[in-house]
């Protein structure tokens, strides 16, 4: 009777007595495609976080038998990879004039960060073996912009990775700190309690500063200053 938990969890469970299928849309069972799987995974991740995604729960949510996913997908890893890339699609603005390259870069990276913060699980997932097409497209656009802004070919990869690092580091840090404001306050408390062990970051209130957007933007400016003097 292990299905009881899963069944109860899935929305609108009407006494699922002897129903052959888990409860799904009252009508029109959809056909279970790769797209539906990925979309469902993103929904589930948004709702329950990284830990909340299991193959069984995902299948249940899609109204499919527990093991049906494995026809469309090799394993759970792949579901993660696909969900991650799907969330990083970049809808570039029409963007007629290649005027302000610096503004372009800032905009691209702020959009990148914002996309990930909209799905906080993506942050801890990103530095991943599989770089999907959307991630590659973002890297390509970044590289192209930097290149046309005059970054030397020899410095290009370093510049790309440095900006990538800034986005990843800032996003991952923010996503994990944001989830626990209380812990944050507790940490600062602890700092204070240890009176004098960490005087600098205590007095700068490093752990309480929650202007993440500003810090991201200012840090990015510093980095771009160094990259393109």
Partner DNA sequence: ACCTGAACACCGTTCAAGT
Dihedral sign, Cα of residue 174, residue 179, residue 180, residue 181 = positive
Nearest to DNA of 60, 202 (CB atom): 60
- Cβ atoms of residues 175 and 198 within 8 Å: no
Residue 41 C-alpha from the chain's centroid: 13
47 binds DNA (CB under 7 A): no
Of 22-30, 39-47, 62-70, 218-226, which segment contacts its own copies by CB under 8 A?
A: 218-226
149 binds its own copies (CB under 8 A): no
Build a one-symbol-per-residue string for 156-185: x at contacts with its own copies by CB under 8 A, - elsewhere. xxxxxxx-xxxxxxx-xx-xxx-xx--x--
Of 34-42, 66-74, 108-116, 139-147, which segment contacts its own copies by CB under 8 A?
A: 139-147
Give 159-218 as a DSSP string: HHHHHHHHHHHHHHHHHHHHTTHHHHHHHHHHHHHTTTSSHHHHHTTTTT---HHHHHHH
Backbone dihedral region of 183: left (phi > 0), alpha (psi from -120 to 50 degrees) or beta? Answer: alpha
Interface residues with its own copies (CB under 8 A)?
123-124, 127-131, 136-137, 139-140, 143-144, 147, 153, 155-162, 164-170, 172-173, 175-177, 179-180, 183, 187, 191, 197-201, 204-207, 209, 214-215, 218-219, 221-227, 229
């Amino acid at each position: 009777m292990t299905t009881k938990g899963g069944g109860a969890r899935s929305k609108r469970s009407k006494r699922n007595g002897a129903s052959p299928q888990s409860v799904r849309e009252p009508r029109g069972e959809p056909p279970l495609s790769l797209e539906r799987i990925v979309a469902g995974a993103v929904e589930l991740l948004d709702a329950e976080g990284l830990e909340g995604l299991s193959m069984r729960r995902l299948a249940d949510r899609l109204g499919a038998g527990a093991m049906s996913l494995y026809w469309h997908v090799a394993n759970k890893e792949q579901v993660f990879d696909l969900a991650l890339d799907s969330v990083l699609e970049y809808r570039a603005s029409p963007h007629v004039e290649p005027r302000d390259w610096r503004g372009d870069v800032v905009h691209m990276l702020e959009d990148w960060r914002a996309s990930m913060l909209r799905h906080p699980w993506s942050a801890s997932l990103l530095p991943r073996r599989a770089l999907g097409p959307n991630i590659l497209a973002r890297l390509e656009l970044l590289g192209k912009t930097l290149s046309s802004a005059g970054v030397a070919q020899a410095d290009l990869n370093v510049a790309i990775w440095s900006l990538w690092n800034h986005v990843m580091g800032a996003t991952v840090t923010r996503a994990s700190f944001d989830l626990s404001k209380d812990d944050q306050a507790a940490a600062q408390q602890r700092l204070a309690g240890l009176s004098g062990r960490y005087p600098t970051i205590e007095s700068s209130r490093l752990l309480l500063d929650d202007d993440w957007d500003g810090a991201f933007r200012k840090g990015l400016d510093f980095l771009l200053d160094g990259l393109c003097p």
